[in-house]
Amino acid sequence: MWAVSTLTMLVLAGILPDFRLQSANGESATHIAVTAAFGAGAFGVLSALVWPLLVRLLLLVPALVLGLLVFVLNGSLLLVALRLNPSSSAEAAPETAVVVAAVMSAVASATGAALAVRDDDAYRRRLYRLADRRRRRLPPSPSAPGTVFLQLDGVGHDVLLAAVGKGLLPTVARWLEGSHRLTPWRTDWSSQTGASQLGILHGSNHDVPAFRWYEKDSREVMVCNRPTSAAELQRRAVEHTGDGGLLTADGASRGNLFSGGADEQALVLSIATRRRGRDNRSRAGYFAYFSDPANAVRTAMSFVAEVGREMGESTRARVRRQRPRVARGGLYPFVRAFATVVERDVVVAAVMGDMLAGRTAVYADLVAYDEVAHHSGPASRDAEKVLGRLDRALALIANVAEHAPRPYRIVVLSDHGQSPGETFRARYGLGLGELVRAGCGLPVPRKVQRTHSGAEARAAVRAALRRPVEEGGEQHRPSRRRSEPLVLASGNLGLVSFPDVPHRMTKEEIDARHPALLTTLANHPGIGFLLVRSEEHGGVVLGAYGAEIPLGRLGDGPGPLEAFGPGAADAVRRTHSFPHTADIMVNSFHDPADGEVLAFEEQIGSHGGLGGAQGRPFLLSPVALSEPVEDGRDIVGAEHVHRVLRRWLREADGPQVPVTDEGEQERAA
């Protein structure tokens, strides 16, 4: 590696005009070679010893800013390395030093990987640098298997099978041939990461009706990817279940909205607003990853390439006038690059470190596919490329498992799928908010704001930049006018609340205040059905042509829910029981023939309500574990998934998750 770095420095000195290894009068080739060798060696030593110290001194710098500082700091180390040789006349302009240092770090990383590829011992030593060094002082890891749960955010069951059929997922295909089994499961009505992951990690997603909703008692809008809301939802779940979560026994939570009770947490949103301390390391994973300059340079280069790739794909879509299509300008290319490159690399590195440290249970979320599918479409070429890169990440983690101090069982799962379709606004020329205002007899502004996307990756970017609030606070302040409705969107699920009424309004009260509202919504061709509370029936589902079915008589047969498939009635009934369900719950139209829905947000791949692939995620588990379900029954709801994962952890014969079968049965009931 030293020789290759020396050669790289000589080549760059011959190419770059502002970088030289000799004086103006010229020097012998031997002297130049010695200067290059000394400079390359000094740079390598400084990178190994000084760089981690610099990163530790910059813990207060936001993660993305640190990513930019990588090049400046690397260039500074090179300038120092060149000055250490007293007999050298080498010099470089500061901006040139940044380029030289970046190239040398990238070449060193590639060389190290190439040299280690056929040497298991060298590969193992390289991977061990990612492990938490404090774990080396602990007793040896137990022989019982550990478990790694990898969540591929937004990848539906059918999308996974289609990708395997196309050869996009060779690692998954190999597992399906013998070592793993694939099981679909059905989400709750709120088919989004906040509800699903809370249920999976903490065993309860009670009273999470959507991605965002208004709570009348506190006069607050809860948003699942807002750190303050995530912390409160986690607190409520722990209070509801009586235990800390899935990962309470020697667990690690990486890149998630919630901690799952893990004692090791990095990139976890629910702790992002706390002051940094022993129990709060929400962003520590970024610094652990960037402490290796080769990692930082490689990821930064991939980040730039991904930004360029998104700009090219977006331009291609506009030129071809593809439909459906949403705007992909502004900061989106950088958000996408963060999700598909930075977040993926950091989370994968953290998982590898956890495995090499011998942790009992690890749960990590990879949001790359979900972010791209929202804007490019679930079955787009763009999204398929992301799936291919995620498969390579799975292969790397499986490779690391072979070098871990204990055996590991790798479980891959998703929290929801995505349903395609154009936006409600694109098809009808107005958004749900404007339709509600029209139904209330209120003026509809000619120029309206577009609904913010609820994509999960944006929360990770905000937390990394230390700007944790999901949206401008003023946007969700309820109007002081008596009849002003508050309309919120969660994919193809809409929520209408009247903040001036302290309780959940009934159908009779809504009709008395706005006689045309419910009829306007229920008969609109873009609306599938409504859920409202009724004084007479307790709750009713409203559909087109005056359809009104009490929840007690609601089934999966003919009626407004027929197009949404089996289980829709139970999901609606469960949401109706939540204390913070909105005055009017609105689910968009769904076409069973093509699986399309109409998103109330600016997304052409959406999730959050009922309809299509969004409600059919998957569970890919080793055959060494017990069957997820017996007698051909379905896994229904995230809380059911939680119970399955708990059972698998108990089967490992390692440190036990503190829960009894009786407790599980009570919660299931």
List, for residues 174-215, the tens digit of each pLDDT value: 999 989 999 999 999 999 999 999 999 999 999 999 999 999
Which pLDDT band holds residue 664 (cuts at 50, 70, 90)? Answer: very low
Q: Is residue 145, in this structure, part of any structural domain at all?
A: no
pLDDT, residue 252, reads 93
3-class DSSP state of 373: helix
Please determine, for residue 120, whether its predicted confidence score (pLDDT) is greater than 70. no
pTM to 2 decimal places: 0.82
Q: Is residue 328, in this structure, part of any structural domain at all?
A: no
Q: Is residue 428, in this structure, part of any structural domain at all?
A: yes
Q: Is residue 562, in this structure, part of any structural domain at all?
A: yes
pLDDT, residue 669, reads 38
Please determine, for residue 512, whether its predicted confidence score (pLDDT) is greater than 90. yes
φ, ψ of residue 64 in degrees (nearest 5): -70, -35
Q: Is residue 591, in this structure, part of any structural domain at all?
A: yes
Number of Cβ within 10 Å of residue 246's Cβ equals: 28
Nearest-10 crossing angle of helices 94-116, 293-319: 100
Number of domains in the chain: 2
Which tops the pLDDT comparison, 548 or 97?
A: 548
pLDDT, residue 196, reads 97
* C-alpha–C-alpha distance, residues 83 and 95, integer Å: 16
Please determine, for residue 468, whether its predicted confidence score (pLDDT) is greater than 80. no
Q: Is residue 135, in this structure, part of any structural domain at all?
A: no
CA atoms within 13 A on the CB side of 408: 29
* 123-150: pLDDT as tens digits: 455 555 555 444 554 556 667 899 999 9
CA atoms within 13 A on the CB side of 229: 25
Average pLDDT over residues 440-464: 65
* 240-284: pLDDT as tens digits: 999 899 999 889 999 999 999 998 888 888 887 655 544 445 555
pLDDT, residue 500, reads 92
pLDDT, residue 521, reads 96
φ, ψ of residue 165 in degrees (nearest 5): -65, -30
Identify the domain boundary among 87, 118, 149: 118
141: phi > 0 → left, psi -120 to 50 → alpha, else beta; which?
A: beta
Residue 37 is encoded by which pair of tokens?
């060798």
Residue pair 262/252 in contact (Cβ under 8 Å)? The answer is: yes
Which pLDDT band holds residue 472 (cuts at 50, 70, 90)? Answer: very low
Which pLDDT band holds residue 94 (cuts at 50, 70, 90)? Answer: confident
21: phi > 0 → left, psi -120 to 50 → alpha, else beta; which?
A: alpha
pLDDT, residue 86, reads 67
Identify the domain boundary among 118, 137, 165: 118
Q: Is residue 600, in this structure, part of any structural domain at all?
A: yes
Average pLDDT over residues 7-26: 75
Q: Is residue 503, in this structure, part of any structural domain at all?
A: yes
Identify the domain boundary among 561, 588, 611: 611
Number of Cβ within 10 Å of residue 240's Cβ equals: 14
pLDDT, residue 70, reads 61
Number of Cβ within 10 Å of residue 556's Cβ equals: 14
For residue 486, the enclosing domain spans: 424-611
